[in-house]
Amino acid sequence: MLGASQAPGQFIAHDPGVRGGPPGAGGMLAGLTPAQQAAFDAGLEEFSEQEGVGDGLGPRFNLDSCAGCHTQPAIGGTSPAINPQVAVATAFGARNTLPAFIRPNGPVREVRFKYKPDGSRDGGVHGLFVISGRVDPTGDATGCTITQDDFDGNFARGNAIFRIPTPTFGAGLIEMIPDYVIVANQRAGVTLKSSLGIGGRPHFILPSGNANRNGNDGTVARFGWKAQNKSLLLFAGEAYNVEQGISNELFQTEREEDLNCQFAPVPNDTTNLDGTSAPDVLSGIQKFAFFMKFLAPPTPSPDTPGGSASIARGRLLFAITGCALCHTPSLTTGPSVTPAFDRQPVNLFSDVLLHNMGAGLADDILQGAAGPDEFRTAPLWGLGQRIFFLHDGRTSDLVVAINAHRSAATTRYRASEANLVVDRFRALGEAQKQDLLNFLRSL
């Protein structure tokens, strides 16, 4: 930002913007077997499929396909520039009103309410749209009369928060990082981290030690904005249910059980034991999981933006300022019978830990052991081709996103763990800041 003493015409570091050129992601991992490639292809097809009333869409939903949300810069990514939720709201005659915060120029958003009308905590996903009145090639929902929740009212009262889609490139590699690698990285450099106010803890979903762990087996969860999901299969099952309303073998119960709004057997998605090939046997959520599992990680650019020298300087500054203490450049998978996952580097730029981010980013949502201002360190690989940043997609400007990591302590929330690191970034010269920003957009 231009300071009071900034001379007119002086160079100001700025976000170079979304990196151009072909997508640096979207393909499959190298070294997959023919069977694994077939599972990936089947998953890609399923991921791209648009669901209809007769498939079990809804009764409440956010979008009708996985790829609609996860499509920037390629299928499997994050929110596109043009928000498909605008068109789907009234597609095929559906009786929906577009909430004011859903805009044509994005981002794709899901909504959670903080509290229920009785004052108890909510935190769940509320589908933006209903199938009422929709008549598509798969079914007729004119007899369904449920209506949308009061989204604009809840937003006006400060009771609605947003989440945008997380990219899934390289997700299978993240899934294969052993817990002991995550915990060892947490403990590494603890003196330096503590001096900068950085803590962080795994999301064991069972508060065990310093972690957010799965409630059944106590292992580290790692997917989602608050690392609330343990595995890609669980992530797929939950998303199919809460984003599209498709019940499945992990989430078998319809969230809205009005029989006038049910047009497919429950659960809607099941394993096909009569399938004639391995991919045909798989359920939809299994196909989604294999697609995400076998997606290759993003490929960084060696020289765009700003040239290779600027990117190299920016990478060094990323470490010097302390950004790399949370955005760990690389972790490693453990031994695996699948060569593509066997002791492989995972250059995700994340410690996969939960951190207190302060009042400015707090969304007041509890998930597992993750508190109202805690978020998983977002992996930065692929950042160069993302359009929207932070959990709610509030900005497309990297500088704004970095500064949003800084929040002073309040009576309710701790100071953000990133405060001193943001101060170090702000203390850099403008040319140094530009190098760091160029490095981030090269990822």
Q: What share of the chain is helix, strand, coil (3-state, %, to 5)?
A: 30, 10, 60
CB atoms closer than 10 angstroms to residue 428: 16
Unique residue bearing structure tokens 């009569």: 274
SS3 33: coil
Listed in sequence order, the residues at least 6 apart from 432 whose beta carbon sits closer than 8 Å to its beta carbon are: 313, 317
CA distance 168 to 151: 28
Say if CB 224 and CB 243 are below 8 A apart.
Answer: no
| Sign of torsion over alpha carbons 122, 124, 129, 130 | negative
Which stretches in the chain have pLDDT values below 70?
A: 1-7, 205-216
What token pair was written down for 414? 């701790």
Enter the pTM of the model: 0.94
Ramachandran assignment for 220, one of left (phi > 0), alpha (psi -120 to 50 degrees), beta (any other) = beta
Listed in sequence order, the residues at least 6 apart from 141 whose beta carbon sits closer than 8 Å to its beta carbon are: 53, 58, 59, 94, 131, 132, 133, 134, 135, 261, 263
pLDDT at 205: 55
CA distance 421 to 403: 10
What token pair was written down for 425? 């970034």
- Kindly give the pairing relationship between strand 60-61 and strand 129-130: antiparallel
SS3 139: strand
CA distances from 424 to 78, 319, 418, 428 (A): 29, 11, 10, 7
pLDDT at 215: 59
pLDDT at 9: 76
pLDDT at 214: 58
Task: List the Cα angle 392/394/399 in 5-degree steps.
Answer: 120
CA distances from 263 to 10, 49, 127, 247 (A): 63, 18, 18, 12
SS3 389: strand
Q: Where does 343-413 show beta strands of DSSP type E?
A: 345-346, 353-356, 374-376
Beta-bridged to residue 121, according to DSSP, are: 115
CA distance 55 to 266: 10
Torsion of CA 311, 312, 313, 316, to 10 degrees: 120
Domain coordinates of the chain in residue numbers?
50-167+229-265, 171-226+299-442
CA distance 232 to 345: 19
Say if CB 185 and CB 195 are below 8 A apart.
Answer: no
- Give me the count of residues in the chain: 443
What token pair was written down for 136? 């598509």
